[in-house]
A and B are shown apart, each in its own frame.
Chain A
């Protein structure tokens, strides 16, 4: 016991200091303010945690400092918004996307085919590039003519913000009608499929595998699924759109959460397997690559969704008002779906201050179970400790790398769509959150999962208490001065906390000592 105390003396003292500050902070304000501030801190902490946990898993296992994580958070928000506000666009995009990916899932077939080609050094150098070029041109030709009902960032009345606003007012804008008038539908579908097949075939020619894999029915399952989605969404386009539009927007929000998370997972897997994987031997370059990816991602979002910020309406279950609101009991809330409940006489927004922390805690527990109770989690934990040993034991660490990267990005995307209704959507939402997450991780310990949770909580609470005290002012003891922290002090306070903690404990609060 005494040994444990002596070993963790600094940690215990720091935590005690936090507790003391926390209690002191609670004394300085009214009870209802304290509760609200606490809940807001939890909310910010939860969002930070969703970014930070993925970031720390990726850094712990892969040693990749993924600075594009904030951008991926933002992309998750924008994708979720699209599903939620414009389900028709989502349905329209489904077909070309599924068909374009389709060809790449048939890698076994392409490898088999490439073995049949006559081997000639000269043609083998030019041929793949030519195929890729043809595929890219074909895809470009079809996509630019393919009818996708979209918004228009140049035209204010059809900008994403306007769609959002009108949906919130209860009078959704009618999406522009589109039809196949520039291209024959059958030709378009075939063209997309052909483009992806040619592209995949061209790529398979680069790596000359010596052994050819067996062609079994199993290899064709993903392709079959994608083709089903693609052609199905094409055939039932109108019905699907009508179904989604007619759905209650609570369900639609759930679908948006799912789609954002899944596309985050897909994006993460794609990014790891194509861009990050060649760079494992050059760690600094990975960092620069993710910086570049982050710049590209922001520009892509600007090109598609435009620069202005806009809001996303909350689902009905969190936005009720009128008679009987704000609710005082759980039953009353369930009855009216009030957007605000009274808690200790403070007005608490249900979505921002109760739903987000709940999801954060759920994810915390789910990932904790994944890490502690499953085989994959065991491999991840072992890999964080000693990667080479795990590899030596005959476990395919590379596949686990891809899985972890995908999982991390998926969590960030989930955080993005969760944050969208409360924070709104802007091009800069990722950067501020990434900085928060970095600070939280540095405080908690870079590769420690509980550290990520603790650090996020501390950052969230500190920020919110600073903002609250910015309004009511801190009376400095023994003097008459009332000190009011101004907005710039809020980020500065967390940064200062990070610097102090890192100087005291270079590995963070819960990081492992080397």
Chain B
């Protein structure tokens, strides 16, 4: 009992955020005067819209989290990360639509495919390093992008229009059962985040951080760096593929843009906004990124990407550690300053 209270005290902020997220649909409904019961049965309204936006943020957060694991934690710069995501999205859509599998079988196949593409990246991994690895992964991802866009596979992928007309199982349909979808997405994100935290805190994760800091030294200490990097890649690939699956289930169209390099850059941007290598930075970054993008497109229109780019540059120049990273740095100073203040008062 005592330890439970201690856990609660240590993670007060996270638990409160989680509680807030669980209650969010109902609170959002209340602003409009919709009762929680109405929200429960998925009545149309602001709450449903907010839920939709939140689901998109959860999916983006999941995707950014998986990128942070290989880029921020393990230090592998991959430009092919959008492939991890889009393979999950396209495979889910195609299996459900063209092959008539049910959802669980689909998830199983996506799981296997995620392992397969991690192995594909793993084959390249020991051969090329640094910027060459980025280029090779970019190459593999753009081959996948071209495949998705090609007319020969258009019957399955929908070519440059995008994959549409996927019939989502009724019990999780984003139109009628959005609240359930919301909780599923939230649960997946929270579980992935906990798993990632556990992974980074585990001995394996510590070695991954060591590889980021100095790979040569990690190898000198006797670690087979390849297997650690591969483990991170595997976990990241599976997470990103599941984010893709959720994306496919939620969105009416899977756009081929999710396979392009631009989508990898989105992940990079989110991680940068939140703070590289901080895990919860990816979640905060996804929130800020999606809301910013949404607001700018709504109120400014077409030139939104100019402001996006400007914010990006400003972050690189002035806030290099991102939101969470800067908070972590400054919170120590704030705490020290607070203590000094308290000390002066006591005297």
Contacts and interface: CB of A to CB of B under 8 A. Distances in A.
A295 B77 contact: no
A338 interface: no
Contacts of B316: 279, 285, 288-289, 292
B313 A289 contact: yes
Contacts of B129: 506
B309 A442 contact: no
B78 to A, nearest CB: 13
5 contacts: A275-B317, A288-B269, A299-B306, A435-B142, A442-B136
Contacts of A435: 142
Interface string A293-306: 11110111011000
Contacts of A278: 317
Nearest to A284: B77
Given A65-B131, A503-B128, 11 more contacts: A282-B320, A288-B268, A302-B303, A303-B303, A303-B306, A446-B132, A491-B142, A491-B146, A496-B143, A499-B139, A506-B127
Given A279-B316, A291-B265, A488-B151, A446 B306 contact: no
A378 interface: no
B303 to A, nearest CB: 6
A498 interface: yes
Contact of B146 (A294, A488, A503): A488
B122 to A, nearest CB: 13
A492 B317 CA distance: 36
A329 interface: no
A439 B142 CA distance: 12
Contact of B151 (A486, A499, A507): A486
Interface string A459-496: 00000000000000000000000000010110110011
A438 interface: yes
Contacts of A293: 309, 313
Nearest to B151: A486
B271 to A, nearest CB: 10
B143 A492 contact: yes
B251 interface: no
Interface in B124-166: 124, 127-129, 131-132, 135-136, 138-140, 142-143, 146-147, 149-152
B143 A486 contact: no
Q: Which 9 residue pairs of A and B lie closest in terms of their CB atoms, listed nearest first? A: A295-B309, A299-B306, A292-B312, A296-B309, A292-B313, A488-B150, A492-B146, A289-B316, A495-B139
Nearest to B75: A284
Nearest to B137: A499
Which of A275, A439, A492 counts the most chain B CB atoms within 10 A?
A: A492
A413 B313 CA distance: 22
A507 B127 CA distance: 10
A67 to B, nearest CB: 9
A108 interface: no
Contacts of B116: none
A348 to B, nearest CB: 30
Q: Chain A: interface secondary structure?
A: helix
B139 A295 contact: no
A29 interface: no
B18 interface: no
Given A446-B131, A496-B143, A295 B150 contact: no
A495 B138 CA distance: 9
Contacts of A491: 142, 146
A294 B139 CA distance: 20
Nearest to A431: B261
Nearest to B310: A296
A502 interface: yes
Contacts, number: 103
Interface in B59-106: 77
Contacts of B214: none
A345 to B, nearest CB: 34
Contacts of A292: 309-310, 312-313, 316
A502 B136 contact: yes
A486 B152 contact: yes
Interface in A416-454: 435, 438-439, 442, 446
A439 B140 CA distance: 12
A294 B320 CA distance: 19
A496 B312 CA distance: 32
A283 to B, nearest CB: 10
Nearest to B153: A488
Nearest to A300: B306
B305 interface: yes
Interface string B291-328: 00000000000110110111011001100100000000
B272 interface: yes
Given A292-B312, A292-B316, A295-B309, A495 B132 contact: no
B306 A295 contact: yes
B302 to A, nearest CB: 8
B303 A299 contact: yes
A502 B143 contact: no
Interface in A322-362: none
Contact of A488 (B149, B272, B309, B310): B149
Which of B77, B139, B150 counts the most chain A CB atoms within 10 A?
A: B139
Given A299-B309, A300-B306, A503-B124, A289 B135 contact: no
Contacts of B272: 288
B143 A503 contact: no
A302 B139 CA distance: 28
A291 B77 contact: no
Contacts of B135: 438, 442, 498, 502
A462 to B, nearest CB: 14
Contacts of A495: 139, 142-143, 146
Nearest to B128: A506
Which of A300, A446, A506 counts the most chain B CB atoms within 10 A?
A: A506
Contact of B312 (A291, A442, A492): A291
A491 B147 CA distance: 11
A278 B314 CA distance: 13
Interface in B31-50: none
A310 B151 CA distance: 27
A506 B132 contact: yes
A303 B309 CA distance: 14
A513 to B, nearest CB: 13
A260 B24 CA distance: 55
A291 B264 CA distance: 12
Contacts of B143: 492, 495-496, 499
A295 B136 CA distance: 23
Contacts of A300: 306
A455 B305 CA distance: 33
Contacts of A507: 132
A496 B138 CA distance: 11
Which of A288, A300, A303, A503 counts the most chain B CB atoms within 10 A?
A: A288
B321 to A, nearest CB: 10
Contacts of A492: 142-143, 146-147
Interface string A269-284: 0000001001100101
B194 to A, nearest CB: 27
B268 A291 contact: yes
B184 to A, nearest CB: 33
Nearest to A287: B77
Contacts of A439: 139
Contacts of B305: 295, 298-299
A496 B269 CA distance: 28
A26 B22 CA distance: 67
